Amino acid sequence: MHYPIDLIIFIHNRDRRNTQTVIMGAWLFLYDFTVMVIEIGQVVQDFTVIMIIASIMALISYKLKQPMVIGFIIAGMIIGPYTPPFSLITSTEVLNLFAEIGVILVLFVVGMEFPIAKLRKIGKRAFIIASSEAFGTFVIGFVVGHSVLQYQMFDSLFLALAISVTSTVIVMRILEELNMIHDESATLILGVAVIEDIIIISMLAILQSVASSPEGDVSIFEIATSIGLVLAFIGGVLFLGSKVVPRFINYVGSTNQHDVLVVAMLGVTFGICFIAFEVGISVAAGAFFAGVLIAESKVHAVTKVLATPIRDMFAALFFVSVGALMNITLLPAFIVPALVLVGVSISAKFFTVFLASRSQGLSIVTSLRTGFGLSSSGGELALVAAKGGSDVGVTSSFLLPMVGTMTVITTFMTPYIIKFGWRVAETFRKESLGKEYVGSDKTDE
């Protein structure tokens, strides 16, 4: 502690005019250091509160056999600044930072599920059905939001994108729990959901790029430029990245050092996210395609195992942050529109999927199962889409809590919708078999 004082005296002897400047600098240093200590204390306090409340709510969700995402969202609502009587966290900025990292890691691990070879195997049918569902639901959602509910344009756009999402993770878990995962329609459902994720992420990147343009210009040229930029980014990442990233990850994996592999994997992921950010594209798109590239490596199974615990922690922080940013005092104002949009989403997704499936020559039974399996919106990508509008500052404050509420509702409904759909399809199948049996009897007579 004596060194700065001696230094001040030394400078004072050399030049009296600089003494006041040096002393002021020393005081500013001490002030900044004190503020830094306070901020670190706040971060630790907030992190403690978040993890304790989140773990309690996750345990309750597990006991009630509900998806963890619901527990995390409710945990965020409990600790958030909008829940009376007071907020349990001191800084939402730190929470938002963790949430952004959570988005990157969630979509990175999702991307690791779909190597390029697997995407090629999904086939034309799944691509046509996914495109019909995503764009059909998006258009219907935008018309309802903008023309019926009278929301502003960007609110309607990001809301329509959010209700176009089908949670691949939630649907896959429910199909596994119901022992339906090996059904023909289940394979088609997962294939469509994968393609839909890619479409939604690409549309999010385009919307954010358009929304970030000067003075909110949404001319045809701006839209075309944004679409071209996103397609060029995806094409460039997949073409060039597939020649470099898998080889690099394989080389690092050959060292058998898991810590080195984790650092290299995260370095590639955040590097691609940074490139996406620099060219004006959503970091979510960069994270997803980073996962796709690493899935091409020979050690992708090991990287997935190593990345999952990190993903789980930051994903929990993301969902908690969404709950914390949900202003539940606005609930009476948007609960009715939220219920209307849930109905619109389920109806639009079911009919677009069913009609597209029939147009591809699939049976009525398979089309019904696929339609019901993909009819429930929500999940992590819906929240990412809603938060994407908030991040670029073009959506209203009610949008994120509305989508969060819709996500909770549809997550509860999804198991029952799938069970109901399977029963309807099974009833239809039995009736069809019965008619065929009666017809054959009459022929025999």
143 pLDDT more than 90: yes
State the distance between the two ends of the chain, measured CA to CA, in whole angstroms. 108
Q: Which backbone phi and psi does 416 adopt, to 5 degrees?
A: -70, -35
d(CA 273, CA 108): 10
| Amino acid present at 1 | M
* Average pLDDT score over the chain: 77
CB neighbour list of residue 197: distance below 8 Å, 6 or more residues apart:
110, 165, 168, 288, 381
pLDDT tens-digit series, residues 283-313: 877 888 888 889 888 887 888 888 888 878 8
Mean pLDDT (whole number) for 146-160: 91
Cα-Cα-Cα-Cα torsion 42, 48, 50, 52, nearest 10 degrees, comes to -160
Exposure b/e, 350-374, CB count within 10 A at least 16 = b: bbbbbbbbeebebbebbbbbbbbbb
Where residue 132 falls among pLDDT bands split at 50, 70, 90? Answer: very high
69 pLDDT more than 70: yes
Q: Looking at per-residue confidence, does 435 or 332 come out higher?
A: 332
- The whole-number pLDDT of residue 222 equals 67
Apex CA 128: angle with CA 126 and CA 129, to 5°? Answer: 65
Query: SS3 of 93, please?
Result: helix
Q: Which two tokens stand for residue 254?
A: 């050959």
d(CA 28, CA 22): 10
Q: Which three-class secondary structure string do you get for 104-139?
A: HHHHHHHHHCCCHHHHHHHHHHHHHHHHHHHHHHHH
pLDDT tens-digit series, residues 184-212: 677 788 778 878 877 887 888 788 877 77
Where residue 400 falls among pLDDT bands split at 50, 70, 90? Answer: confident
Mean pLDDT (whole number) for 122-131: 83
d(CA 215, CA 16): 52
Q: Looking at per-residue confidence, does 271 or 434 come out higher?
A: 271
d(CA 212, CA 281): 10
Of 335, 420, 425, give the one whose Cα is nearest residue 376.
420
> How crowded is the C-beta side of 20, counted as CA atoms within 13 Å?
1
Apex CA 224: angle with CA 223 and CA 227, to 5°? Answer: 85
Instruction: Report the share of the chain in percent with pLDDT over 90.
Output: 13
C-alpha distances out from residue 98 to 130, 311, 352, 397, 413, Å: 31, 11, 37, 20, 29
pLDDT tens-digit series, residues 360-391: 888 888 888 888 888 876 666 787 888 888 87
**What count of other Cβ atoms lies within 10 Å of the Cβ of residue 189?**
28
Of 236, 233, 235, 260, give the one whose Cα is nearest residue 249.
260
- The whole-number pLDDT of residue 22 equals 40
Where residue 76 falls among pLDDT bands split at 50, 70, 90? Answer: confident
155 pLDDT more than 70: yes
Q: Which fold has domain 100-434?
A: Na+/H+ antiporter like fold (1.20.1530)
What is the distance, to the nearest Å, from the Cα of residue 410 to the centroid of all Cα atoms in its chain?
15
d(CA 265, CA 309): 14
Structural domain boundaries in the chain = 2-65, 100-434
177 pLDDT more than 90: no
d(CA 57, CA 70): 9
Cut 0.75: pTM above it: no
Exposure b/e, 392-430, CB count within 10 A at least 16 = b: bebbbebbbbbbbbbbbbbbebbbebbeebbeebeeebe
As a whole number of Å, the CA-based R_g of the chain is 26
Q: Which of 145-149, 158-162, 215-219 has the lowest mean pLDDT?
A: 215-219
